[in-house]
């Protein structure tokens, strides 16, 4: 059993701390947001993640997990401190490190014994050295410490599975002994451990996310070409995916990537490249294609409905992906705004993101289920590929609508079947089947 302090109990910090507690360690989560800590101590989580609420309660009841606003309490017996605070997007696309700075200073001021500081937040290359300098300068008196980079690779909606069954653990440090001690924490996960220097570990995180975002934009560009040439991108992607060099994952054409990681990380990597005098043209193309996919939906609606003024459009799904309530950079936000600017009235439904949607889409009429959503709509747009949308009673949906247009932004439905039911259906890159 190790004593671990996790600074920041948002998405990454809460999942990381809770999973380490479930492995038998003693965890203290620290956050400066008093309301968040008060809610966690009542069993109220700040995020939705399948299985996390149950795991938090189990480990709190077992005495392995607790939460506080006090750095002194969090660091009292800690051998490790994981910094897992937010790094939001800055003005020019760079990562904003103000919260990392605050965490480093507070850690330096509160530590009373040697400590290994683990950067878990996604941070620009070179941040590990910067954090070490801040801690060294902020200590009231010198206390030995080490800095290790351990980037996270958690997918929202499957974060617990990803933590407990990682493809690899990446560790970066200039001190082999510190990296080894952090590696020991991860040994129960029985995954490959990659040990590098600090900057290389930080770059692995950005390069990984940028590559996955590139696969998404690649298949979306192929989808647009398929549509023009009469091919079906779903079949194209299936045929490509059997090649082990390519793989099947991240080849689903649709509305592009969103959430808290890919958009921010691709922009941040492009910014770092530009600062160094490089020309990140591939990264720029990835971002441009992703933005175009949201515009594509509105264009398809115009093809089906003509002018959008006074039309009623329902959005099936609002979160950026299934199994999360996260709406950061979700396609629904941009599509809803574009429709409203065009004069349409927008309705929306999501299985878990309704509270978040109420704050982020204040002018969208939110309803309780997909069938209420369909009532009086001229068109429906599939935004999020929730499983519950795959087997809706489409005859009932059709009967409730005022019009018959469906833009399937996730290619959930069969074009021929939708046509037989009387829908005017458009998928993404479906070629002949989408006509």
What tens digit of pLDDT does each residue of 354-413 get?
A: 999 999 999 999 999 999 999 999 999 999 999 999 999 999 999 999 999 999 999 999
Query: Global pTM?
Result: 0.94
Sign of CA dihedral 317, 318, 324, 325: negative
Same domain membership, residue 151 and residue 288: no
Q: Please, which pLDDT band fits residue 93 given cuts at 50, 70 and 90?
A: confident
Of 153, 176, 196, the position where a domain reaches its end is 196
How high is the pLDDT of residue 434? 47
Counting DSSP H helices and E strands in the chain, the numbers are 17, 14
Q: How far apart are CA 311 and CA 316, in angstroms?
A: 16
How high is the pLDDT of residue 149? 98
Asked whether residue 223 is domain-assigned, the answer is: no
- The CATH number of whichever domain residue 339 belongs to comes to 3.40.50.720
CB contact at 8 A, 75 and 81: yes
Of 196, 215, 242, the position where a domain reaches its end is 196
Q: C-alpha angle with apex 302: 297 to 306, nearest 5 degrees?
A: 165
Same domain membership, residue 128 and residue 252: no
Same domain membership, residue 239 and residue 160: no
**The two three-digit tokens of residue 299, written as one number:** 């264009």
Query: Is 226 one of the annotated active-site residues of the chain?
Result: no
Residues in the chain: 435
Same domain membership, residue 320 and residue 263: yes
Of 148, 173, 196, the position where a domain reaches its end is 196
CB contact at 8 A, 270 and 287: yes
Q: How far apart are CA 380 and CA 46, in angstroms?
A: 30
Q: Of these residues, 5, 19, 150, 261, which one is catalytic?
A: 261
β-pairing verdict for 405-408 and 424-426: parallel
What tens digit of pLDDT does each residue of 201-227 get?
A: 999 999 999 999 999 999 999 999 999
* Domain limits for position 378: 231-434
């Amino acid at each position: 059993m190790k004593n671990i302090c996790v600074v920041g109990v948002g998405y990454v910090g809460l999942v990381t701390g809770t999973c380490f507690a479930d492995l038998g360690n003693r965890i203290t989560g620290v956050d400066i947001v008093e309301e968040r800590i008060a809610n966690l101590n009542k069993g109220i989580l700040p995020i939705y993640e399948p299985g996390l609420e149950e795991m938090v309660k189990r480990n709190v009841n077992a005495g392995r997990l607790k939460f506080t606003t006090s750095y002194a309490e969090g660091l009292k017996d800690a051998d490790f401190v994981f910094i897992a605070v937010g790094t939001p997007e800055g003005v020019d696309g760079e990562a904003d490190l103000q919260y990392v700075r605050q965490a480093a200073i507070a850690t330096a001021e509160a530590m009373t014994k040697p400590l290994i500081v683990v950067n878990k937040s996604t941070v620009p290359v070179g941040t590990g050295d910067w954090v070490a300098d801040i801690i060294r300068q902020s200590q009231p008196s010198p206390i030995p410490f080490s800095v290790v980079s351990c980037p996270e690779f958690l997918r929202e909606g499957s974060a617990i599975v990803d933590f407990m069954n990682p493809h690899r653990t990446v560790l970066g440090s200039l001190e082999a002994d510190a990296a080894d001690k952090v590696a020991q924490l991860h040994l129960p996960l029985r995954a490959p451990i990659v040990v590098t220097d600090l900057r290389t570990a930080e770059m692995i995180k950005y390069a990984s996310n940028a590559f996955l975002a590139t696969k998404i934009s690649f298949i979306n560009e192929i989808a647009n070409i398929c549509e023009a040439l009469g091919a079906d991108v779903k079949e194209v992607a299936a045929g490509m995916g059997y090649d082990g060099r390519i793989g099947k994952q991240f080849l689903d054409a649709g509305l592009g990537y969103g959430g808290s990681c890919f958009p921010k990380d691709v922009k941040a990597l492009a910014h770092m490249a530009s600062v160094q005098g490089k020309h990140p043209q591939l990264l720029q193309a990835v971002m441009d294609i992703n933005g175009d996919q949201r515009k594509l939906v509105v264009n398809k609606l115009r093809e089906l409905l003509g002018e959008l003024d006074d039309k009623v459009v329902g959005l099936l799904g609002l979160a950026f992906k299934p199994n999360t309530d996260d709406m950061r950079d979700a396609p629904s936000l941009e599509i809803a705004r574009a429709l409203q600017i065009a004069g349409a009235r927008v309705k929306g439904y999501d299985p878990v993101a309704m509270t978040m949607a109420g704050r982020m889409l204040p002018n969208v009429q939110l309803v309780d289920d997909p069938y209420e959503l369909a009532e009086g709509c001229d068109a429906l747009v599939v935004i999020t590929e929730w499983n519950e949308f795959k087997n809706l009673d489409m005859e009932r949906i059709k009967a409730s609508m005022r019009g018959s247009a469906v833009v399937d932004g996730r290619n959930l439905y069969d074009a021929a079947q939708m046509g037989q039911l009387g829908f005017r259906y458009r998928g993404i890159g479906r070629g002949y089947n989408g006509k």
